[in-house]
Amino acid sequence: MPVPPPELYPPFNIVRLSHVEYRVTDLAAARGFYVDTLGLQVTHEDAQTIYLRAMEERGHHCMILTQATQANVARLGFKLYDHPDLDKAEAWFKAQGRPTSWIERPFMGRVLQTTDPWGVPLEFYVEMERLPNITQNYALYRGVRPLRIDHFNLFSPDVDSAVAFYSRMGFRTTEYTEDAETGKCWAAWMHRKGGVHDVAFTNGIGPRLHHSAFWVPTPLNIIDLLDLMSTTGYRENIERGPGRHGISNAFFLYIRDPDGHRIEIYCSDYQTVDPDHEPIKWDLKDPQRQTLWGAPAPRSWFEQGSNFDAVPTSDPLLKAQPIVAP
């Protein structure tokens, strides 16, 4: 299926991805991972929740950790450009037959909650409490020195349909993987903020969250994190990498938090802000697609992900098999 052309004048204006809410079974253990090891900054915490931001971010939070009896994902958040966009978004999702509601969120203004056609819980906002700039407060830098949240990757049972739906919201495809036998899309990377992606879709049982990613200053920060994790009890949480993706050209590392939520540490992709940027096509069997150096990903990377809270999943329509590490 051909990648849809970009919707240059979308029904509402999404600036970028914003935040994710993870439900975790041990809040203290999650804090030890995200704060003490990765280096995210606590902006608020109580007995049930911890709000976190990265070093370049002025918004109050990019991640919410919520104590729960079962680990899953509660919500993915996106920032809109201006207040009229919230009402436009509500009207658009209603026209697609999706449920909408307005909710109160701590540290945020009006928040619109809805779902995509597969049940992925989404929320949109314009205003979030702004915090002082800490970019040059180097005494706070620790762990992998995360600068900002970069993207979400989701397992999708129908990547072609997901790309079509999100294209209509204004997301533009930068790169995609095609199964040569069927001509269908096996994975796609889509952006709003002018990087390679704010959201990506990977063929698999879904919808599930494959990973959230954080941008770091250099590949050396990833090496430092590996040294730290391997000597502080997190060696088994290292899943894949380090390496360089063929797709996106980014340097990467995939790790798992204490509940198994996958986090990518990411840097060095490229600018895609031009409206006539042409999507790059990759073949599913190209070994440099996954890793430029040719190393295949482990089976867990293709099969394991985080469920969305109370959202049923289904098997993928496309049965094509990627290259998997033995």
Q: H/E/C letters for each residue in 86-144?
A: HHHHHHHHHHCCCCCEEECCCCECCEEEEECCCCCEEEEECCECECCCCCCCHHHCCCC
For the chain, give the percent of residues with pLDDT over 90.
Answer: 98
Q: Which two tokens stand for residue 258?
A: 């204490």
Q: What is the pLDDT of residue 326?
A: 84
Nearest to 169 by CA among 147, 140, 199: 199
Q: Enumerate domains of the chain plus CATH numbers.
A: 14-129 (3.10.180.10), 144-307 (3.10.180.10)
CA 109 to chain centre: 23
Across residues 121-137, what is the average pLDDT? 98
Q: What is the pLDDT of residue 1?
A: 62
User: 10 Å Cβ neighbour count for 232?
Assistant: 11
Q: What is the pLDDT of residue 285?
A: 95
Judged against a pLDDT cut of 90, whether residue 2 lies above it is answered with no
Nearest to 188 by CA among 275, 123, 280: 280
Write phi, then psi, for 228 (nearest 5 degrees): -65, -50
Residue-wise pLDDT tens digits, 85-126: 999 999 999 999 999 999 999 999 999 999 999 999 999 999
Residue-wise pLDDT tens digits, 23-77: 999 999 999 999 999 999 999 999 999 999 999 999 999 999 999 999 999 999 9
Give the contacts of 176 (CB within 8 A, at least 6 positions apart).
3, 163, 185, 187, 188, 189, 279, 280, 281, 282
* Strand-pair category, 251-256 with 208-215: unpaired
Q: Which two tokens stand for residue 24?
A: 């975790």
pTM of the model: 0.98
* Strand-pair category, 199-203 with 185-191: antiparallel
Give the contacts of 92 (CB within 8 A, at least 6 positions apart).
11, 12, 169
User: 10 Å Cβ neighbour count for 270?
Assistant: 12
The 3-class secondary structure across the chain, one letter per residue, is CCCCCCCCCCCCCEEEEEEEEEEECCHHHHHHHHHHHHCCEEEEECCCEEEEECCCCCECCCEEEEECCCCEEEEEEEEECCHHHHHHHHHHHHHCCCCCEEECCCCECCEEEEECCCCCEEEEECCECECCCCCCCHHHCCCCCCCEEEEEEEEECCHHHHHHHHHHCCCEEEEEEECCCCCCEEEEEEECCCCCCCEEEEECCECEEEEEEEECCCHHHHHHHHHHHHCCCCHHHEEEEEEECCHHHCEEEEEECCCCCEEEEEECCCCCCCCCCCCEEEECCCHHHHCCCCCCECHHHHHCCEEECCCCCECCCCCCCCCECC
Q: What is the pLDDT of residue 181?
A: 94
Q: Average pLDDT, whole number, for the chain? A: 97
Q: Find out whether 49 and 65 touch, Cβ atoms under 8 Å.
A: yes
Place 151 in a pLDDT band, splitting at 50, 70 and 90: very high
- What does the alpha-carbon distance between residue 221 and residue 219 come to, in Å, rounded to a whole number? 5
Judged against a pLDDT cut of 80, whether residue 276 lies above it is answered with yes
Residue-wise pLDDT tens digits, 192-248: 999 999 999 999 999 999 999 999 999 999 999 999 999 999 999 999 999 999 999
Give the contacts of 293 (CB within 8 A, at least 6 positions apart).
243, 244
